[in-house]
Structure 1
């Protein structure tokens, strides 16, 4: 099925998963459709997932990017995304493709080697490295969405915002030259609300206005990030 009326994928099944059929939107490319199929397979195999309609599951584009652990629907989509990523890009295949330090070129190499989308590869890179990373996807200088790895500070841009004018990403988009920039030091306030972190950024610019920016934060050891819960002072009896 080529036209889905706003949906990326559908799983047609019953409440007890006695049988099932998966439909995937192919209009956005084969690699994205592969992820959609894996995502719907996750819904089928996770027996605690509740059907979103009488006939099964219907998933939108934003569901394919879900990483939160909130209400039932959000949690199910996040779990199905994690299942799909692990199925298509397992750790034992991802790790050998990573350079000693973060580099968006690794994501492109992973994409070509594993035949999955660049977006999934960037996410796997963020989750598979020890460094504190985040990524911001944009189109013609406007933020589409972002993903933060564990421990990354609060990011001050959100969907619909323009890229920070003082960022290297902004300059890369203005230059509109396809390819990769090298990592450059960024002022921490260009992307975060903190001044006590060392921040670096790298951007991959495509030839159609789409870009992804990788952010790398060096968090001080005595981190007092307001986003993190404070630990109480131990007492002795």
Structure 2
């Protein structure tokens, strides 16, 4: 694959860098060929294998004349694709400073980093931003979204973009206009969570049990696998805003791993001219 690395020089914003790279690629009709892209940009080798102690590694020198990417496939090939894109971001973002004499070594936590405080956190956040913009640009991602949020979209996105379910959910929460949040849990305890713009702060924290009055607690406790429908839930179970309307949907997978999608209705109160009619109950439609 013939790509021009010079054309990508001096671009320090990760989203702009990914956009410029897509301009070189032209139309992409299937999953983004991340290994071929890396090899076309002075990465001499990409090794995908079961590694211990790290999710990804970029072996390079301080001037990054060339490099080797190692990606852990222990959590699946789709997760490894994101890791390769993340390490390629470190390679191309020229302001990133190597973390050791041999380059960059990234952990599972780094792959979820969104903070931009310290330099190390900012670099990991920027590499993640580059990776998702490269692998799931809005032009390819948004076409697979339903009219209303739904976890079934994740299944279509995984197949179309060859991305992990977690990456697809994170991108969905970010791309959709509705105030959304997602909570990942295992055996009834919260592992981590994200929330989109406008969604209230989440009350439960990492390692807390799922709220007992939530739909998630009910289906996880029963071991019911699959995707539930959206149902209205107690806002106080998940947020510090008991007055809002909140809807909840959960997907339970193997070994009691689950992800819960929350959809908040933050629309203003109806004005006095409203006739007071209540909408029919069912899946929420806030548009």
Instruction: Kindly indicate whether the alpha-carbon contact (under 8 Å) linking 1:14 and 1:56 is maintained by their aligned counterparts in 2.
Output: yes
The alpha carbon displacement at 1:3 in A equals 4.5
Tell me whether 1:204 sits opposite 2:251 in the alignment: yes
Unaligned runs of 5+ in 2: 1-47, 270-287
Match of 2:241 in 1: 194
Structure 1: tracts of 5 or more residues without a match? 223-237
- In the alignment, what sits opposite 2:96? 49
Bigger Rg, structure 1 or 2: 2
The residue aligned with 2:141 is: 94
Number of the residue aligned with 2:196: 149
Contact 1:196 1:220 in 2 (8 A): no
Q: State the number of aligned residues.
A: 222
Whether 1:124 aligns to 2:171 is: yes
Q: CA RMSD in A?
A: 1.3
Q: Deviations over 1:115-153 (max 9, x none)?
A: 110000001111111000010001111111001111111
Q: In the alignment, what sits opposite 2:215? A: 168
1:31 equivalent in alignment to 2:78: yes
Distance in 1, matches of 2:204 and 2:119, equals 27
Q: Hey, what's the Cα distance between the residues in 1 that align with 2:116 and 2:85?
A: 20
What secondary structure sits across from 2:122 in the alignment?
helix
2-structure distance, mates of 1:54, 1:218: 50
TM-score for the superposition, normalised by structure 2: 0.75
Q: CA deviation at 1:218?
A: 1.3
Q: Secondary structure at the match of 2:160?
A: helix
Structure 1 residues 149-183: Cα deviation after superposition (integer angstroms, max 9, x where no partner):
11111101121111111100111101212110000
8 Å CA contact retained: 2:51, 2:74: no
Aligned equivalents of 2:142, 2:113: Cα separation in 1: 23
TM-score by length of 1: 0.90
User: Over residues 85-143 of structure 1, what are the superposed CA-to-partner deviations in whole Å (9 max), with x where a residue is unaligned?
Assistant: 11111111111100000001001210111111000000111111100001000111111
Q: How does 1:11-30 map to 2 (within 5 A)?
A: 11-30=58-77
Structure 1 segments of 4 or more deviating over 6 A? none
